[in-house]
Amino acid sequence: MKTGEIVLEQGTLVKPRDIAIMATVGCTSVRVSRKIRIAVISSGDELVEPSEKPGIAGIRNSNAYQLMAQVEKAGATGKYLGIARDNEEETLRMLKEALSVSDIVLITGGVSMGDFDFIPSVMERAGVKILFSRVKVQPGKPTTFGVHSNALVFGLPGNPVSSFVQFELLVKPLLLKMMGNDYKPLTVPLQMESLFTRKAADRMGWIPVGITGDGHVLPVEYHGSGHVSSLAAADGLVALKIGKHKLEKGEVVSVRFL
């Protein structure tokens, strides 16, 4: 390294190799952005915590722990506030608490069109200005986003694959940008190993894929946004544009690595 040479750019997410570079040039103190604080709330009477056994109409709460892990991996600080039952006043109380302790609030569930999907109205009661309540993306159509004087608020779908994908597409780039990082997701062009088709093409589709030993793309077994175990075999995501029904064998696609 020469005198006057830039060894680390502003906006770098500091990694172990960057620490080594700073140590090499005698940089023992560096100004960094503070970690973004993210509050996570799950909603729904059907939810129980993972340590509990769900009843006949129940399901274990996977979204909160998935999101907390995604938050930590992205370099932010997460705080799980618990399960908001299907009661507007309780949900409003928890949202107000979240707004007071965080920079970004993530609420999962309660944003589609069912009888108890009242998260958007609770957001408005809490003083959140909703900027959008739908995205033309599959999975994750009912994703909602709003701004408050204290924090930004995402209403994420209750289906686990939807919440996972929308975090990667929307939340992660935002929180990294807020911390000053010039984030660019890792994408690599690779060939499809086999044909992939879908019936509906009115939304941009994101499908989980694996990478074979010879560097080809193979869609994992995936049965929709509730199929969370499909993500265990996924190395990345591939997008299909609106109107595109299939990916041909041998077609070059851009894999967004997870």
User: What is the arithmetic mean of pLDDT over 220-236?
Assistant: 89
- Give alpha helix (H) positions in the chain: 16-24, 63-73, 88-101, 119-125, 160-166, 172-178
Domain membership of residue 22 (yes or no) is: no
Binned at pLDDT 50, 70 and 90, residue 228 comes out as confident
Q: Tell me whether residue 1 is in a domain.
A: no
Residue 210 maps to a domain: yes
Both 53 and 171 in one domain: the answer is: yes
Please check whether residues 70 and 148 belong to one and the same domain: yes
Q: What H or E segment, with its residue span, contains residue 188? A: strand 187-191
Same domain, 101 and 123: yes
In a domain, 7, yes or no: no
Structural domains of the chain, count? 2
66, 54 Cβ separation under 8 angstroms: no
Q: Are residues 95 and 162 in the same domain?
A: yes
Q: Which amino acid is at 70?
A: Q
Rounded to an integer, the average pLDDT of 151-163 is 95
Question: What H or E segment, with its residue span, contains residue 79?
Answer: strand 77-84
| Cα 206–chain centre separation | 13
So what's the pLDDT on residue 229? 87
Q: With beta carbons less than 8 A apart as the criterion, state whether 139 and 161 touch.
A: yes
- Residue 49: which domain range? 37-178
* Amino acid letter, residue 2: K
Q: Is residue 52 part of a domain?
A: yes
| Per-residue confidence band for 115, with pLDDT thresholds at 50, 70 and 90 | low
CATH number at residue 149: 3.40.980.10
Whether the predicted model's global pTM rises above the 0.95 cut: no
- The whole-number pLDDT of residue 245 equals 97
Cα 27 → chain centroid: 34
The pair of structure tokens assigned to 112 is 């589609």
Answer for the pair 27, 19: CB distance below 8 angstroms, yes or no: no
Q: Residue 111 — pLDDT band, cuts 50, 70, 90?
A: confident
Confidence of residue 114 (pLDDT cuts 50, 70, 90): low
Q: Read off the CATH number of the domain in which 209 is found.
A: 2.40.340.10
What φ, ψ does residue 90 adopt, rounded to 5°?
-65, -45
Does residue 17 lie within any of the structural domains? Answer: no
Q: Looking at the domain assignment, is residue 209 inside a domain? A: yes
Whether residue 45 lies inside any domain: the answer is yes
